Copies of this chain bind each other. A is one copy, B any other.
Amino acid sequence: MESKHEILNLFGENVRKFRRLLNLSQEELAHKADLHRTYIGMIERAEKNITLVNIEKIANALEVEIKDLLKHSDNGNND
């Protein structure tokens, strides 16, 4: 499922990408971020409009900066 809000799709794709880079399951990321596993799944599928406080929790758990979760990176076309 994709959101009509491109920013939510982008954010969700990046969460999934960085989570896999760390070899974390959704459940492990959820535990690290103090969120629910189903919530992580919804965020990755862009089904939820995430709040800033939870954005920060996920960025911290993924050991990246928030701006890294908002970057386009599919084609290496920009930084």
- A residues adjacent to B (C-beta < 8 A): 5, 7-8, 11, 49-53, 55-56, 66-67, 70
The copy count of this chain in the complex is: 2
Task: Specify the main secondary structure of chain A where it touches its partner.
Answer: helix
Quick one: closest B residue to A8, CB to CB? B52
Quick one: closest B residue to A5, CB to CB? B53
- A7→B53 contact, CB < 8 A: yes
| Cβ 8 A contact of A70, one of B49, B53, B67 | B67
| Docked pose: A49 CA to B31 CA in angstroms | 21
Quick one: closest B residue to A56, CB to CB? B7
Q: A5-B52, A7-B56 are in contact. List 9 more A-B contacts (CB 8 A).
A: A5-B56, A8-B52, A50-B51, A50-B52, A51-B51, A52-B52, A66-B67, A66-B70, A67-B70
